[in-house]
Amino acid sequence: MPDKTLTRMDLAEAVHEEVGLSRNESAELVESVLQHISDALVSGDSVKISSFGTFSIREKSERIGRNPKTGEEVPIHPRRVLSFRSSHLMKDRVAEGNKR
């Protein structure tokens, strides 16, 4: 399994090579796109990127959990969580990569 992680700088470098913007402009573009995605999610909107997937916010209600070490029941407070559902095209691309 590869140990490489794709970073913001990797994305900016790819934009630089593909589009021809300067490295600074490419980094600003990547930051701007990520900021727009983040702002939309914070405001409760879903973000759908065609052929990639959908990011959405789910509201989780309060529930009772259990400390696995002690067995003690503890309340888990309500919270908002980020979820991602990949598109069928992305799932197929990942599955194809597993066949190599």
Q: What is the pLDDT of residue 3?
A: 78
- Using CA atoms, how far apart are residues 20 and 72, in angstroms rounded to an integer? 58
What letter would DSSP give residue 43?
T
Does 98 have pLDDT greater than 80? no
Size (the chain), residues: 100
Please enumerate in sequence order all residues whose Cβ is within 8 A of that of 22, keeping only pairs 6 or more positions apart, or say none.
Answer: 16
- Using CA atoms, how far apart are residues 28 and 16, in angstroms rounded to an integer? 11
Q: What is the pLDDT of residue 100?
A: 62
Confidence of residue 80 (pLDDT cuts 50, 70, 90): very high
- Using CA atoms, how far apart are residues 41 and 87, in angstroms rounded to an integer? 18
**pTM, 2 dp:** 0.79
Q: SS3 for 28?
A: helix
Q: What is the pLDDT of residue 63?
A: 95
pLDDT tens profile 31-74: 999 999 999 999 999 999 999 999 999 999 999 999 999 999 99
pLDDT, the chain, mean: 94
Q: Do 51 and 90 meet the contact criterion of CB atoms below 8 Å apart?
A: yes
Q: What is the pLDDT of residue 1?
A: 52
